[in-house]
Chains A and B, each alone.
Chain A
Amino acid sequence: MPKQLLKGNVAFAEAAVRAGCEAYFGYPITPQTEALEHMSKRMVELDRTFVQAESEVAAINMVYGAASAGVRVMTSSSSPGISLMQEGFSYIVGSEVPVVIVDVMRGGPGLGNIQASQSDYNQITKSAGHGDYHPLVLAPSTVQELIDLTTLAFDLADKYRTLVIVAADGSLGQMMEPAELPPMRDLREERPSWALTGAKDREPNLISSIYLGADNLEMFNRKLQGKLALIEKAEVRYEEQFTEEAEIVIVAFGTAARVAQTAVKHLREEGLPVGLFRPITLWPFPEKALFELSQKTKALFVVEMNAGQMLHDVRMVVGIDKPVKFLGRMGGAIPFPDEIERETRTLFEQIMTAEME
């Protein structure tokens, strides 16, 4: 397939279609709505399922139903809608059905605005519904990566029978970039053995998140934690740029990482030893790689489009002795490269002064 100029929201929706998504349920919300609109056309053309739900609460429960019936299914939304879906997330993980979500994050709290933001970091990596679990969270920084990670999300959801969230933002959703779509995959021929398809010539299947008694529920939770531990081992993804012999490493994901990348290039041109560490999985967080890298650098510089949410994970990894600087833009603001460059230079000066003293 040649590259085409694609809008992020359309790109991930089409990627889902090609990954074999058989059902989409959603509710309009800016800056994600083009995805729903694309699905309303494509899914119907392909004789697959599209329903515009009455709310995000209904949408996620429709998704839960279709997933229980054993088809590849997804929804997409933006922050206020993701808040409403949290109930469903918890049931989906609690009954171990595979589901893909795309969150095109916007500024909050409340109705906030429709600009790009990363302020759902905590709500999707840590507190996505009640109970002890994390969804698997993938954070693209280009439209191409949005396509690739959406495709991967379906495979990971199936592999682990769990919830996978693609954490995009309003900027990625709205921007147009040249990107390549993967070829169309065949739809699954047979439903999984656990799916609700009618108890013909077999015992009835049950999809439920109920475990009566503390013993049973603790046992299920142990199993769930075991699965999460497997994911932590096998699915960590990140990217490093210019990190060799870097004295300062900028840590950023998604759109913030994209801006940071430009800043790093400029700073390198100036001769400053700066690198970029970009987590691609926000959960599992690339702890080990970041720790090892931090051992080789003098300071870290976390850049986010929120008040410092991933910052906590970074601090946890590197410990309190390592200097960690933070730059956060909020409410839909995106940092500029020169802002990051200026702050990085200041950090260098501080380190040099400290070393001389």
Chain B
Amino acid sequence: MTLTLTEQQEDVNIVEKLVYQRPLSLADVHTHYCPGCTHGTAHRLVAEVLDELGVREDTILVASVGCSVFSYNYFNVDACEAAHGRAPAMATGIKRVNPDKVVFTYQGDGDLASIGAAEILHAAARGEKITVIFINNAIYGMTGGQMAPTTLPGQVTTSSPFGRSTSLTGYPMHMAELLAGLPGTVYSVRRSLHDARHVIQAKKAIRLAFEAQINELGFSIVELLSSCPTNWGMKPLEALNWVKEEMVPAYPLGDYKVADELKALSKRKKKS
């Protein structure tokens, strides 16, 4: 007996256990990200967490300006597109009138640490109950690889062609540490996306960040060290290695703030 293709698939589904599929919170489309870019990895982690927490239908994404500008096409949730740097302010407006919804921003390092430095700082200072996914790739990706506030000393970019000079341009900004210093912040951590082990750790952090919001504890942010092979002028694997060898030492991974209420929450979870 010959089976049709769908019958074959059904047959397979019966015997095989489904172990991997597109999260519902991700749209069924191709992304425009370059090969080897970790924006896609970050999207998937966020989408998995939204699925697992069962909040997709209650979630509102505030997309920012940068390579992730079209992230609203990739997440299967209500979304808006903020002006460059203003996502935390826009998210504030949305969350204040939708206090029972889950509101998150997805921002690059130029967006968050440079043009939007005031907005992110004050959203944290106010303890806005939003979650921030912060993609630090040490560069302005979208505009073609200019220096960001997070660019490493000596790093060559299209606007620091001789390597970033600290005497001329100062030093990288450590946003996870900076934001951890504000009482409104309940969760501020740095993770990396350069290998599978770190990706799994990043997902756990993203989950906790959303749980902080859902439990109305305050402002939460996960900084994710990310690769930009295109603008760094590297092959994808080289780029991941550069994250590991150059970025991780400059931007130590770790928990810079986990408020006691959140610690208690995750302990209770583990027990039950």
Interface residues of A (CB under 8 A from B): 22-23, 25, 49, 51, 53-55, 57-59, 61-69, 71, 73, 87-88, 91, 95, 196-201, 204-210
Contacts and interface: CB of A to CB of B under 8 A. Distances in A.
Interface string B68-95: 0100100111111111001001111111
A199 B77 contact: yes
Interface residues of B, number: 35
A64 B93 CA distance: 7
9 contacts: A54-B118, A55-B118, A57-B86, A57-B119, A65-B62, A66-B94, A199-B77, A205-B79, A206-B78
Nearest to A62: B93
Contacts of A51: 92, 96, 126
A200 B78 CA distance: 9
Contacts, number: 132
Nearest to A72: B97
B58 interface: yes
B93 A91 contact: no
Nearest to B118: A54
A281 B69 CA distance: 37
A71 B86 CA distance: 19
Contacts of B91: 65
Interface centre among A23, A67, A68, A88 (most CB of B within 10 A): A68
B62 A204 contact: no
A199 B81 contact: no
Interface of B: 56-60, 62-63, 69, 72, 75-83, 86, 89-98, 101, 118-119, 121-122, 126
Given A65-B62, A210-B81, A53 B89 contact: yes
A196 B91 CA distance: 11
Contact of A22 (B56, B75, B94, B97): B97
A57 B118 CA distance: 10
Contacts of A58: 86, 89, 92, 118-119, 122
A23 B77 contact: no
Given A22-B97, A65-B91, A198-B77, 12 more contacts: A57-B119, A58-B86, A61-B90, A62-B93, A63-B93, A65-B62, A65-B89, A65-B90, A66-B97, A197-B98, A198-B60, A198-B78
